[in-house]
Every structure is written in structure tokens, then in C-alpha cells.
Chain A
Amino acid sequence: MYTEMTVHNLYIFDRNGTCLHYSEWNRKKQAGISKEEEFKLMYGMLFSIRSFVSKISPLDMKDGFIAFQTSRYKLHYYETPTGIKLVMNTDLGVQNCRDILHQLYSTVYVECIVKNPLCALGETLQSELFSSRLDSFIRALPFFSVRAA
């Protein structure tokens, strides 16, 4: 069976809920609300999921919430100790993205943003270098393939 694997979109939030970055590659359906509202809804959903998971978990958790999936997509989540949240939506064939998101954080975000004295933390990321490095990182992923329109 021919299964295509792909990355739909990626969000990066800071600890206050500001969406620092958003990219999309293969998004078929928009949320029907403005981008600003969508970021707030996404952040709110993740905040609630984390709280939900910590309360309902039968055991003490180490990493916490990792991913969820629906009938059409899978959402992968990774949070750094400083509160930077990386959220990636892929299709269902993709397995473990935690390491990939961690690598994305350490090789792209830390190198281009944190180590850049001109980038103010807490504001949307303007760096061109960051956007292009992020784009090539995602396109280089083994499960990324651009679907024909």
C-alpha cells in the first residue's frame, strides 16, 4: 500500500503563549478563524492538555504529553525546560517526532535565535536565516514529501 508521509505545519510558542513562528507545507484545510485566534486556540488547547494529563495520569510523569492523533493527522509536541513549545502536525504514518523536534530546537532555534544578539526573545522571529534553516531541516526529513496539488 502506497502511503505518503508528510509534515503539514509547525508552530513555535514561547512560555507566555506568544506564537514565535508558524510555517505550513501541506495544509489542506484552514481552521476557519484568523491566524491570531488559531494560535491562541492552539496554545490554549496544549495548555489544557498538559494540565489534563498531569491530573489524570495514574503515575508520576517524566516527559508528559508527547503526541495525539485523530483519524487524519498526528500532532507532536515537545517542550523545552525554558518553556519553548514546538508543535508539529504530520500525517498518521509518522512515529516518534520527539527527537526530531529536540534536534530542531538545538540545531536551528538555539543556533539562529538564542545565539543571535539581534533577536529579542519573546517576539515573533524575524530572522531570515532561521526561516530558511527551518524550512530546509523539515524538507530534509525522511518522511517529508510534497504532495502533488
Chain B
Amino acid sequence: MAIFSVYVVNKAGGLIYQYDNYVPRTEVEKTFSFPLDIVLKIHDEKVIVSFGQRDGIRVGHAVLSINGVDVNGKYTAEGKEILEYLKDPSNYPVSIRFGRARLSSNEKLMLASMFHSLFAIGSQLSPEAGSSGIEMLETDMFKLHCFQTLTGIKFIVLADPRQSGIDALLRKIYEIYSDFALKNPFYSLEMPIRCELFDQNLKSALEIAEKAGTFGPGS
């Protein structure tokens, strides 16, 4: 049971805080000989598997390293284009590591804004009057919980589907935000949160929540 990450989004939909608590990385490293039976393509400046799913390598996985050296986008660490490199038979046998690509900060910003809009559309399409936006989004691998405050700040937590006590955790994060960000005289509203005490207290709140404890008074 784990809590994967926390996102805080301001009134305008901009990401002001992001923390990855535990992100499971599924990576597969294999040695290949020419020709490569996996079809690769370039997408978003990364080399992605487009066809040829096998042995734990799924469609959508990115090339993470070649021969043990981490790649740099669509180029190898030496600056050669990966697709060209893999077309040359003299470079084989080659050991390639595939896995889910890590999200860059830009991508996280875009995803937060995307959710901000989806939250609003969820409320608009409601068949019942007086509905809030999306409070919980469920998939087979994770559950996304969202709490919107009266001032329009959204606290978003991604957790394991079986994790309980997330509602209490969201309220607790709101409390930590008001104690260590809002009461900080150097913090400007709606701006990215860069308060050390906020980070520390958030981390300990996540630890307590993962152990399925409750937040006592004054904790």
C-alpha cells in the first residue's frame, strides 16, 4: 500500500507544488542482436516502443539507457541519434534498457493543468444539481483523490487503489499548507511553494498515512 505522489494546483490551474513519494519503476534490460525486432519511434523527444511488445517491454516504454549509459532524449550520451545508432549492424550486440519514462517538470505542469480543466468539466456534465468537480478518479493501478478548498486550491494525491485514509490525508495536507506556506511571510499566494517546513511536514504526514495511522490533535 503506497502513496505515489502529491500535487498542489492553484486557482488558475498552475502547479505550485509536486512531490513524488514512491514511484515504482518497472525497467527491463535486454541484449539484442541485429536486426532489432522492436519497432521504435520518436515521440515528445523520446524514443518510444511502438510495436513488438514482449518480455516485459511494453508499448509506450521509452529507451532509458544503451549499454548501461543513460540516454539523453533521442540521442545517446555521446550525442549520436539513437535510431541511426540502432540501424547500424556494427553496433550490435547492444544492451538496451526499456521502461516507463520519468515525467519531466514540464509534463507534470501540463498534466496538472489538464486535470484542473477536467475537474471543471466533471462538474458541468453532472446529471445532478450542485455537483463538485472530480473528487476521485479510479483506474486499475492507482486512485487519484482531489480536494478543492474554498479558495480554489486543489490538493491531489495519487495512491494505491487499496490505500485508505486519503480523505483525512488531504485535509491534513491543507492544514500543513495553511500552517507552513500561508503563514510564511515570504510566501506569495498562488506561487510555487518553496518552504522547507512544508516539505518536512508533508513527508511525515505521508509516512503516517501510509502506516494507516490517524492524525491526532496537534500532530
Binding site for B on A (CB under 8 A): 8-9, 24, 26-29, 31-32, 38, 41-42, 45, 48-49, 52-73, 75, 89, 91
Contacts and interface: CB of A to CB of B under 8 A. Distances in A.
B158 A56 contact: yes
Given A55-B107, A63-B140, A64-B139, A70 B132 contact: yes
10 contacts: A27-B127, A41-B124, A59-B141, A60-B58, A60-B61, A63-B139, A70-B123, A71-B131, A72-B126, A72-B128
B136 interface: yes
B115, B122, B129, B138: which has the most chain A beta carbons within 10 Å?
A: B138
A58 B4 contact: yes
Given A48-B118, A62-B141, A68-B137, 10 more contacts: A52-B111, A56-B158, A58-B5, A70-B122, A70-B123, A70-B126, A70-B133, A70-B135, A71-B130, A72-B129
Contact of A9 (B23, B24, B127, B135): B127
A69 B133 CA distance: 8
Given A68-B136, A72-B126, A73-B127, A57 B121 contact: no
Given A52-B111, A57-B141, A69-B135, A45 B127 contact: no
A61 B139 CA distance: 8
Contacts of B136: 68-69
Contacts, number: 117
B41 interface: no
Given A48-B118, A70-B131, A71-B135, A56 B103 contact: yes
B186 to A, nearest CB: 31
A89 B111 contact: no
Contacts of A57: 139, 141-142
B153 interface: no
A26 B127 CA distance: 8
B122, B127, B132, B140: which has the most chain A beta carbons within 10 Å?
A: B127
A115 B30 CA distance: 45
A26 B129 CA distance: 12
A70 B134 contact: yes
Contacts of B137: 49, 53, 65, 67-68
A73 B121 contact: no
Nearest to B99: A60
Contacts of B208: none
Contacts of A61: 139-141
Contacts of A8: 127-128
A82 B126 CA distance: 27
Given A45-B122, A67-B138, A60 B26 contact: yes
A111 B117 CA distance: 38
B26, B114, B139, B144: which has the most chain A beta carbons within 10 Å?
A: B139
A57 B100 CA distance: 9
B26 A56 contact: no
A43 B5 CA distance: 28
B141 A58 contact: yes
Given A49-B118, A52-B115, A60-B26, A89 B138 contact: no
B192 interface: no
A29 B126 contact: yes
Contacts of B124: 31-32, 41
